[in-house]
Structures are given as structure tokens and as C-alpha cells.
Structure 1
Amino acid sequence: MTTPISFAHLFRLSDDIGLFEHALGSVPRREHGYCVDDVARGLVVLSREPSPPLELIRLLERYLDFVRAAQAPDGKVVNRRGTANGRRDKPEVGDCWGRALWGLGTAAALAPTSRLRAQARTGFHTSAHRRSPWPRAMTFAALGAGELLLAHPDDRSARALLADAVTVIGPLGDDPAWPWPEPTLRYANGAVPEALILAGMCLPDRAVLANGLRLLAWLLRVETRGEVLSPTPVDGRRPRGDPGPGFDQQPIEAAAIADACARAYAATGQNRWLTGLGRAHGWFLGANDTGMPLVDTATGGCHDGLEAEGRNANQGAESTLALLSTAQHAHRLLASRTP
């Protein structure tokens, strides 16, 4: 079963500037303003949408303008913006820089008009020469670089960024029980194997591709309990940690698994990755550690977290985009499959 894709809550969270980060229930919390982290995620989701109607194209254009306006001339990115008082942060090369490149690279490859694709590619090149010392930021940047390379294999800046991201992510660990290239599982974990799979496809590098697939298979084992996805909670997951489910589980974790499984399927054609995608999608529908659905069919939004006692009542941008992204993959790859 796949859930219908509704952009109603995304429109509710958006205005003529960008996408509000937080919500109280389903009501946007305008006082908290906007951030590139979420607007770039929105740019990814809208760029992926097949044959979008005019209202979605206009929303994509708004998000693209927001991300490009957040880029400093030197390629760094300012993450936060208020509704009235402009930018709130200093330019940086942290996660917001990486996610900006993810959104720009995806839009440069997949946006529905040549004008928007050209604008996004120009924005990508503005920041693609920078490098971040943080592996997760480089991971997000790699996703945009790889998406751009799939459309434009001759793009040298994207190729160089993707190759450098593989180096920063680092080699897999020697311990078969913990091959993860970091001492703990943290956040958006599925993005790490996806970046390696994408790099293996685009550079191309069979060893890197194999490492990405191996890492994703391991992550799925670690984050599966019985037949349901049990994502790493906010506090992370460590070697030899508590084997029971952890809470607060975040929609971004399930979405990153869905992204990685869809990418692995594109690279291999193996149905095992569709099983992982199905579990990620099912997590939103109630096939999770509490049996409670995260999707709100009345609003089109997604609850912000799965807790031991229930759900976070709020429906912010990150969670709603995680639902939309996962549903897009499910409709494209799972909707025609027989149970």
C-alpha cells in the first residue's frame, strides 16, 4: 500500500519568501523563520516530482531563489533567515552548505524547465569549489554532485566534489560488526551509503559502489526489528548499545533509508532494496515500533517524531518533506508491485 502524495501541508508551511521551519500542530510558527536546511530539502522533493503542475513549479522557483540568496559570494551559505530581519547566521560550510548543494545539484538535473535547471547549475557552481571538514556536510554535497553528474557527466566541479566527499567520508571500518565509518550512528544515516553508491555509479568506481551497498545492507540490519524499520533515535546508536528500540525516532531517518534503497535499486536492479524502501515507507504508515502512523491524512503533514508514548503533535517542514520524499519513491517503485 502507498499513501497518496499531498502537497497541502507544504503549501501551508510556505509563503512568498520560503518554507517555515517549525509548526505548532499544523500551524506554521512564523516567529522561528526559515532555514536553508529545509528549503533545500524542499528543492530536492519538488525537483523529483514528475510533471509538476504550475503551482509546484512556482513553489520550486521560490525555494531556488531562497537557496541562491543564502549563498555568499565566496560559496559559503547562511542557514537561517527571519521573516522581517533578514539573515540570522554567518556564512558557513556546515550541513546547510551541503544541503544547499544537494538541492541545487538535484534541481540542475531534474527541475522541470531549462531556465530553472540553468539557474540551479549556476548556483551549484557558486559553492561547489568549497570543501567542508565535516563528513556529513560533504555527504549531503555529494548527493547533489552525483545527481548533477548523472545529467551532465562532463561537469568537472561536480566530479571533483564527489571524489573529495568519498575521501572525507573515509574507509569502512575493519570490524564486520561495526563497519560504519564513524564511532556512532547519528542522523540522516542512510545518506552516507547513498553518497558512496552514487559516487560508485558516477566516478565510476566499483570498489566505492560495493562499499556503499555493503554499508547500506548493514545499516538495514541494524535498523530493522522483526519486519519493521526501527531507525536510530535522536541520541544516536553506538556499538554494543541497547538492542531495544530507541526513541525519539525522526522521519528524516526513514527518508534517508528510502533514498538510499531507491539509489541502490537504480544501481543494481535487485529487489532486496525495494524491501528496504517498503519498510521505510511503512514506517510512516504505522509499521513501526509503536504501531502508530506518522502521516496525517487530514493535513497532508507528518508528525515530527515517534516517541515511546506516541507521536510528536507538531508537523514541521523537515518531517513533512521526509514523508513526501519517501512517498515519491514508493509511488515510483512500489505502487505497481503485487503484495
Structure 2
Amino acid sequence: MRSHLQTAETFPEKAFVPDELVLPAFNPAHLLNMTDSTGMIQHALRITPNRKEGYCTDDNARALMLTVLAWKQGRYPEVLRLMSIYLSFIHYMQMEDGYFHNFLRYDKQIVYDGSSEDAYGRTLMTLGYLVEYGPSPLMIRTAEDLFLKAAAHMDKLQSLRGMANSLVGLCLFVRSHTGDQEQLSRISLLADQLIDEYNRYSDDKWCWFEEVLTYDNGILPLGLLHAYSITRQENYLHTALEAISFLESKVFHDEVLYPVGNNGWASKGGSTALFDQQPLDAMAMVLCYQQAFHVTGDTRHLHRLTQSWQWFMGANALQQPLYDDITGGCADGLQPDRVNENQGAESTIAFWISYFAVAETLNK
């Protein structure tokens, strides 16, 4: 049985690299298929919603962010109804103390599992987008209420991804609330924590925030890039760009994105797992390069952004597209010998968030 832990020498010698970038038309069919009156269902059996596994705040928060981006760019009427459903789900899942439950069964029973700092951070990130770009004052004020009720939990976060996602949302919130000194001070608090972890683990050969590259890696420098856009603290920008350069050395080979595989990750001094590759990681790279290009104007980041996007479209290890242009859904991952047939919420949302990030960047 072939090992999933492979070195750069085992990568395919030739990989498909497209000559030009072509964006498909927006197709919300699978988003609509996966969404009922409660929210977006987590998983799918191929293209059939798997109601047995219910809903989660993670997916509904990201789905809300997707609808904000879709409305901002295209004024697609169908996304307004979806936006209301996803925002209502987040409101329902917010606890009295402002934190968020993460899982809801299909019978509408909350799963009391201690919740997730990742889900919390992703929800704050999304609420920041809605506050900044929401379609109506009333919806924006609802997002502000949820954000402010949750904000104090940022002071106690332990998860780096919880910090980084929260930091993105916080910076977007502060852009339209410049007089809120409490939230402004939290930007430096979270960014400095990320810097401290980066300094703790980095050396001449390993420039990262942890001793292992796992999932959603691009979100960590993304948080610092957003912090820099507000504070103009040069160490935030320097650290983010250094981390991006290191991450590139691990995930780009022959100009093709190979997201770190979740079957072993990439540890300091160890090997890098090639599979399974996840759409969430490609999305994080797209968002990271979008912000890096926005902050620096360096077209190298634009080039990497388009390469990261093309991972979905077939410029990947298997030279197989994950996007299904018939359903409008995205496969759940890239396995050693095939594309995962399931088109769950996370993967489909990751595709469309990446889509709108690329479209917005290229149209500027």
C-alpha cells in the first residue's frame, strides 16, 4: 500500500497549468439544494443532502459570507433569501454569553459539545463582512448586535485559527466603526498573539506559527495582513509575507498548488502529506493572496491567487476538476487516486467564496 506521506521528489513530473483564466457563471443550484428553511446541511451523499448529520455553525457562517460576496458583486436576488436563512441560523446558535454552539441535529436539537473556537472565529469573520458590505441597514445592525455580543470572547482565544479568523472580522468591523476603541485595541491583542506564536516556533528553516502545517493555513497570515491594513504596523506585514513565502515553499510545486494533505499534515523536520487535499485550504490561499495583493500591489500575489483558484478547476495533482458545472457543487477533496464524489457544504462554499474573491480582484 502506497504511503500518503510523500516528499517533493514523488510529485508528478508534469502537471496541467492552464494558459488563461476562465471563470464559470455563478450557479447557486447546489447551494439551494443543500439549504432548507433552517440552514445549510453539513454533508452530502454525492449531491443528495445528508440530513442524518444535521447542520453546523461553521458552514452556515461561511455560507453567509458567500452570500455577502455574491450580493456585493452581482446583486443576485436568490442570495438575499439565503442570506436571511444563514443569519437567522447564527442568531439561533448564539448563546446568552455571546459564544456560539456549533452543531445542530436535523431534529433541531443543539449538540452540547463545548463548541469550537474555529467556528467562533469564522462566525466573527463573516459578521465583519456583513457589517461592512451588507445589503440593508437593518441586516447590518443585526450583524453588529451579534458581533458585539460575541466580541469579549476574543480576549480568551487559544486557537490560532480562531484568532486569525476573528481578526479578519474585527478589522472589517472597525473599518466602519472607527470610534470603537475597545474593538480597535483588540486588533493589536490578537495580532500580537499571532506574532508571539510565530516567533516561538520559527527558525532559519521553519517560518511558521506552529510546529506543523495542518488545515486552513493561509488564514494565519491573512489575519496579520488585515491587521496591517488597519494599524500599519510593519511587523505584521513583514511576518505575514515571510510566512506566505514559507508556506509557498511547502504547497507549490511546478507552479501547481498542492494543499497540505490531512492524512499526516506537514511537521517541522518531517515529510509533507500530499493527500487528502481539501477545498478549504485552497480557499484560504485564495483569500490570503487576495489580501496580499491588495496590501502590497505585488503582482506575484495575483499570480499565486489565480494558481490557487485553478486547483478547483483541474490544475492540481490529479489534473481533475473538483467543480461540477452541472450541479454548481464542489467535490469534498482530492484523494490519492480520485476526486471525492461527495459535494458537501464546506467544499461548495469554499469554491464559491474563492470564485468571488478571484472575480473581484481581477475586475479591479
Task: Confirm or deny a common fold (TM above 0.5).
Answer: yes
State the distance in 2 between where 1:187 and 1:157 align: 31
Partner of 2:254: 226
Deviation at 1:221, TM superposition (A): 2.3
Tell me if 1:117 matches 2:144: no
Any residues of structure 2 matched to 1:232-243 within 5 Å, and which? Answer: 232-234=260-262, 235-242=264-271
Partner Cα separation in structure 2 for residue 204 and residue 149 of structure 1: 14
* Counterpart pick for 2:87 among 56, 60, 64: 64
Report the 3-state secondary structure (helix = DSSP H, G, I; strand = E; otherwise coil) of the residue aligned with 1:109.
helix
Question: How many angstroms does 1:149 deviate by?
Answer: 2.1
Is 1:187 the counterpart of 2:215 in the alignment?
Answer: yes
Deviations 1:208-227 (A, max 9, x none): 12211221122122210111
Contact kept? 2:213, 2:260, Cα under 8 Å? yes
Unaligned runs of 5+ in 2: 1-20
Contact 1:128 1:161 in 2 (8 A): no
Which of 293, 301, 325 is residue 321 of structure 2 equivalent to? Answer: 293
Secondary structure in structure 2 of the residue aligned to 1:334: helix
Cα distance in 2 between the residues matched to 1:118 and 1:2: 37
The answer for the alignment partner of 2:111 in structure 1 is: 88
User: Do the aligned residues in 1 keep the contact of 2:212 with 2:267 (CA within 8 Å)?
Assistant: yes
Return the TM-score normalized by structure 1.
Answer: 0.94
- Mapping of residues 103-182 of structure 1, within 5 Å: 103-130=126-153, 131-171=156-196, 172-173=198-199, 174-182=202-210
Q: 2:23 — aligned with what?
A: 3
Task: Quote how far apart the aligned CAs of 1:29 are.
Answer: 0.4
For the aligned residues, what is the CA RMSD? 1.7
User: Shift of residue 9 of structure 1?
Assistant: 0.8
**Where in structure 1 are there 5+ consecutive unaligned residues?**
none
Are 1:315 and 2:343 counterparts?
yes
Q: 2:222–2:288: 8 Å Cα contact kept in structure 1? A: yes
Tell me if the contact between 1:51 and 1:112 (Cα under 8 Å) persists in the aligned partners: no
User: With CA pairs under 8 Å and 6+ residues apart, which has the higher RCO, 1 or 2?
Assistant: 2
| Separation (CA, whole Å) in 2 of partners of 1:214 and 1:155 | 31
Verify the 8 A CA contact 1:21 1:35 in the aligned structure 2: yes
1:21–1:317 CA contact under 8 A, matched in 2 = yes
Kindly tell me: are residues 302 and 246 of structure 1, through their superposed partners in 2, closer, same or farther at Cα, counting changes over 3 Å? same
Q: Deviations over 1:162-205 (max 9, x none)?
A: 22222332333441321101000111000000001101111231
Contact 1:281 1:326 in 2 (8 A): yes
SS in 1 for 2:266: coil
Any conservation in 2 of the 1:2–1:331 contact (CA below 8 Å)?
no
Partners of 1:85 and 1:39 lie apart in 2 by 15
Number of residue pairs matched by the alignment: 335
Answer with 259-268 or 102-111: which moved more: 102-111
Q: Write out aligned runs for 1:180-219 (5 A).
A: 180-219=208-247
Does residue 255 (structure 1) correspond to residue 283 (structure 2)? The answer is yes
Letter matched to residue 269 of structure 2: R
Identity across matched positions, percent: 30
Secondary structure of 1:310's aligned partner: coil
Structure 1 residues 160 and 43: CA distance shift in structure 2, 3 A: farther
CA contact (8 A) 2:127 2:147 kept: yes
Alignment of 1:264-275 (within 5 A): 264-275=292-303
Could you tell me how far 1:236 is from its partner in structure 2? 1.4
The AA in structure 2 aligned to 1:151 is S
* Structure 2 residue identity aligned to 1:203: T
Q: Is 2:102–2:116's contact at 8 Å kept on the other side of the alignment? A: no
Alpha-carbon distance between aligned partners in 2 of 1:80 and 1:95, rounded to the nearest angstrom:
13
State the AA in 1 paired with 2:218.
G
Higher mean C-alpha displacement, 275-284 vs 44-53: 44-53
Q: What TM-score do the two structures reach when normalised by structure 2?
A: 0.88
Distance change (3 Å), C-alpha of 1:89 and 1:161: farther
2:124 corresponds to: 101
User: Does the 8 Å CA contact 2:195/2:239 hold for their aligned counterparts?
Assistant: no
Give the whole-Å Cα distance in 1 for the aligned partners of 2:175 and 2:204.
32
Post-superposition Cα deviations, 1:211-261, rounded to whole Å, max 9, x if no partner, equal 112211221222101110011111311123336x61000000000000000
- Range with greater deviation from structure 2 (97-106 or 275-284): 97-106
Deviation at 1:329?
1.7
d(CA) in 2 for partners of 1:91 and 1:110?
31
